[in-house]
Amino acid sequence: EWAIRFEHAAKTYAAGSSASRAHAPAAVDDLSLDVRTGEVLVLVGPSGCGKSTTLRMVNRLVEPTGGRVLVEGRDVATLDVVELRRHVGYVIQNVGLFPHRTVAQNVATVPRLLGWDRGRTRTRVAELLELVGLAPDRYARRYPHELSGGERQRVGVARALATDPPVLLMDEPFGAVDPVGRRRLQDEFARIQRELGTTVMLVTHDVDEAVRMADRVAVMSTGGHVEQLAPPLDVVAR
Ligand code: ADP
Ligand code: ADP
């Protein structure tokens, strides 16, 4: 059973001028790939090979120029974007918290957009902060600049999980965190992921992270070509 399916998905970015457009290579050429329900699929590969593009086709930050992407059986192109993003959380490096909003307000962003009432939102925010290891009493009213890098990433994860999305996209989620903090975050995230059964696509440069986090690793080369797709230890052994 799969949660995300790429069917000959392709993306060629429109270049500035028609002359360069003619030569623009596809960022992702022809990608067919299934991500199984509940697995952590890690994408690795050289910079510029199409990893972020692949991820962003799932939540429609990037619209494919060919083929299609399905989430839980539905072509994402046919879904309302707000609806889609309730089902697909997104965590990036340096997370993009709103600097003038408290931790609680940041985590409450999507519930508020969806018009949840105060009580439900408050309960959910507290639950999420607990889940990512930030005691609400201590953290809810702080501002992002009053947090460490690792704590900020935790807030980003909490915010992405607010609507309990079955799918989570993570692009270098722990890249800005020091090595010790990163290991703790990886372990805690793995625990959360198992507990929730979330399907995860994760992009990383860090081979150690790939080995620790992945159920399967997709090794990509230029054009989003999947060269290998296997459990991490099989990939490393080659
Ligand atoms: P990766 O995540 O593997 O580093 P990306 O998916 O970011 O790779 O990029 C793949 C290719 O697409 C690169 O050649 C990159 O320069 C290009 N690209 C990415 N985003 C854009 C964009 N918004 N406009 C034009 N080209 C882009
Ligand atoms: P505002 O004044 O904009 O309503 P608050 O900072 O009081 O903002 O709260 C923002 C959101 O975070 C609200 O949904 C609130 O219920 C929630 N929240 C605030 N403090 C806590 C807390 N200690 N525990 C859980 N949720 C909280």
Most confident of 7-16, 93-102, 147-156, 221-230: 221-230
φ, ψ dihedrals at 170, nearest 5°: -130, 120
**Mutation pick for ligand 1 pocket among 44, 53, 220 (CB with most ligand atoms within 8 Å):** 53
CA-derived radius of gyration, the chain: 18
147's enclosing H/E stretch is none
Q: Which atom of ligand 2 is nearest to the CA of 111?
A: 14
Which band of pLDDT confidence, cut at 50, 70 and 90, is reported for residue 209?
Answer: very high
The more confidently predicted of residues 200 and 208 is 200
**Mutation pick for ligand 2 pocket among 97, 98, 103, 105 (CB with most ligand atoms within 8 Å):** 105
Asked whether the beta carbons of 88 and 167 are under 8 A apart, the reply is: yes
Q: Which atom of ligand 2 is nearest to the CA of 119?
A: 16
Q: Which atom of ligand 1 is nearest to the CA of 171?
A: 2
**Residue 102 Cβ contacting ligand 2 at under 6 Å:** yes
Which of 103-139 are b and which e, b meaning 16 or more Cβ less than 10 Å from the residue's Cβ? bbbbbbebbeeeebeeeebbebbbebbebbbbebeeb
Q: Is the pLDDT of residue 21 over 60?
A: no
CB atoms within 10 A of CB 235: 21
Alpha carbons 88 and 85: distance in angstroms, whole number: 5
Alpha carbons 5 and 18: distance in angstroms, whole number: 32
In the predicted model, what is the mean pLDDT of residues 210-230?
Answer: 95
Look at residues 195, 40, 66, 64 and name the one whose alpha carbon lies nearest to residue 128: 195
Asked whether the beta carbons of 12 and 67 are under 8 A apart, the reply is: no
**Residue 106 Cβ contacting ligand 2 at under 6 Å:** no
Cα of 81 to ligand 1 centre, how many Å? 22
Helix 179-196 crosses helix 149-160 at what angle (to 10 degrees)?
20
**Mutation pick for ligand 1 pocket among 52, 65, 169, 222 (CB with most ligand atoms within 8 Å):** 52
Summarised one tens digit per residue, pLDDT across range 92-149 is 887 789 999 999 999 999 899 889 999 999 999 999 999 889 999 999 999 999 999 8
Measured by CA distance, the residue closest to atom 6 of ligand 2 is: 105
Alpha carbons 231 and 217: distance in angstroms, whole number: 6
What secondary structure letter does DSSP report for 49?
A: S
Asked whether the beta carbons of 129 and 135 are under 8 A apart, the reply is: yes
Cα of 114 to ligand 2 centre, how many Å? 16
Q: Is the pLDDT of residue 184 over 90?
A: no
Q: Which amino acid is at 201?
A: M
